[in-house]
Structure 1
Amino acid sequence: MLADTEHGLTGKEIGDLLVRLAMADPLPGATKRDRLTEAFVARQNKDGSAKRIITFIVHAMEPVRYRDRPELFTLRQDRLNERLAFVGLHVNDKGQVARGAQAQTLDEATRIATSIRDELQRRRTHPEVLRYCSTEVLKRSRFHACLEATKSIFDRLRTLTGAPGDGAALVDAALALGKSGTQMLAINTLQTQTEKDEQSGLANLIKGLGGLYRNPTAHDPRLSRSVTDEELLEVLTMVSMVHRRLNEARRDGDVN
């Protein structure tokens, strides 16, 4: 992960760390992956142990290096832990390499190292959810992840309908079944009572999510609002389901 093309260390960062730790750089002109591999192999052969490799990881994962991009720390931490799990190690939140559960299989390694982001991907969370709150998830800002996720539903309704407004008024305009049948979107044909109940149920669910998470989260101080990892997963999974139902939505004039 530290030599990953997109999210890994830069070539300069690798070179600086190797110099800082007095490690040889046998292939300075090679790809980052080959360069780092050769440097690790050379040092391990010299020392007869992997201690200096662990030291390299610790220096690369110093939290101060990520003060402007805390989400990058989490991303690298997750990927490293999925590999270190096979030798019973993990990178903790202080950037230190510590003892942990040892994995014997790929499934065990994934389970040991699984983060919220990984679990969301495993659940095939709707792209709109991840587009709105992936940074907050990586920063482990559960407070703001709930806020951004629920906001994504209201933005989606505005995009689908072109309607202004927000909150319950927007939901009513877009989905609610009024006496005159003035809703703008339909998630089914609305021909049976069951289909009408589904439509009303989705509208009420969206209002409920706004009331439970969007409104209180937007107004309460951060320290008075506690959201666990489990609750965050449940909220984002529910928001994902709403987006999938909206995938099926058609403008009312197109229903029949």
Structure 2
Amino acid sequence: MSAHPPFDPGTVEAIAKVLGEAGSGTDISRYFKANSLLDESGESTKWRRINAVFLKSQVTTKSANQILAFIRSYLVPTRFVGKRDEFEHHRCELNAVLILHGLEYGKDGQFRHTTQARTLDEAEARAQGVRNKLAPRNTHPEVYKYCQPELMQENYFHAVFEACKGLFQRIRDLSGIEADGANLIDRVFSVEKPSLVFNTLQTETEKSEHKGFAQLLKGCSAAIRNPLAHGPKILWQGETDAADYLTLISMLHRKLDQCVKVPNQEYRHGGGV
């Protein structure tokens, strides 16, 4: 690895505070030794120890290479087997700092160059990742059911594709009708002979709501699943698109939660049960 320019003292302090929360004092001492870093700081607080050692290292080596090497060994993914959420928390906190310098620490424990963030807001938003963006939106568990592996791999293109496929599979499971795409929606959510309903279809307002939901489902297939199945991945816009698409799919799942199956096609020409 070529020499990385030294970080400014504020950056070193921010990195030290993140790392101080990622292990015990004994862990820190062990990894200092493994990375040939000598702690002569006299400090007792974990982050202050790390901060002092890192600052001294930069003065000695004229680079941040030993800091980056320490991070790779100290935050190695294998240290967090069974504690994935803890690893992701530390990684995201670290990336909120590093992205301001054009660096990113990946899930695989390797650093990559990335576009440098220009503001703190941009750095924090980019470091959050899709899962953290989805969390405040109370995303439906059926979304994660079908795309959890892809989200963990940060494969957002295929995460949305699998989540959309999962939505239509759930419609088949609820209705018992084996079809796909617009044909499935037309059969399941027909106003005259529906298989699934979430209202009585007795008023024009209820019929319009029913039709509108069916159109949203068909739009999901036409605007999301079909283009993803046939379009090149290079055209994908990344995390922002993924979070928005998955939120739409989550909303559609919530509407499906309200649906009930109509036995023996009891709705006829808009009439109630």
State the TM bucket, normalised to the shorter chain: 0.5 to 0.7
Contact 2:117/2:123, CA 8 A, preserved across alignment: no
Q: CA contact under 8 A between 1:54 and 1:97: conserved in structure 2?
A: no
> Does structure 1 residue 117 correspond to structure 2 residue 131?
yes
The residue that corresponds to 2:226 in the other structure is 215
Partner residue of 2:201? 190
Q: Within 1, Cα distance between the matches of 2:226 and 2:123?
A: 38
Gaps of 5+ in 1: 26-36, 64-70
The alignment's TM-score, normalised by the length of structure 2, stands at 0.62
2:111 matches 1:95: yes
* Equivalent-residue separation in structure 1 for 2:57 and 2:104 (angstroms): 18
Contact 1:24/1:42 (<8 A) preserved: no
Shift of 1:244: 1.0
Cα distance between partner residues in 1 of 2:256 and 2:195: 12
In the other structure, the counterpart of 1:233 is: 243
In the superposition, the TM-score normalised over structure 1's length comes to 0.65
Partner of 1:161: 175
Structure 2 residue aligned with 1:34: none
2: CA distance, partners of 1:150 / 1:97: 32
Supply the AA of the counterpart residue of 1:250.
Answer: V
| In structure 2, C-alpha distance between the alignment counterparts of 1:164 and 1:15, rounded to whole Å | 60
> Partner residue of 2:254?
244
One-letter code of the match for 1:226? L
Gap change, CA 1:62 and 1:166, over 3 Å in 2: same
Cα displacement (A) at 1:118:
1.1
2:4 is aligned to none
State the shift of 1:22 in Å.
2.9
Q: How do 1:142-161 and structure 2 match up within 5 A?
A: 142-161=156-175
Whether the 8 Å contact between 2:37 and 2:53 is mirrored in structure 1 is no
Shift of 1:148: 0.9
Structure 2 gap segments, 5+ residues each: 1-17, 40-44, 59-65, 78-84, 267-271
Q: Distance in 2 between matches of 1:47 and 1:232?
A: 37
Contact 1:149–1:239 (8 Å) recurs in 2: yes
Cα distance per residue 1:32-76 (max 9 Å; x no partner): xxxxx85x665555666586555421445689xxxxxxx999775
What is the root-mean-square deviation of aligned Cα atoms in Å?
A: 4.3
Q: Percent identity?
A: 31
Shift of 1:195: 1.0
Q: Which amino acid letter does the alignment assign opposite residue 197 of structure 1?
A: S
> 5 Å matches for 1:67-78?
77-78=91-92
Distance in 2 (CA, whole Å) between partners of 1:77 and 1:46 is 21
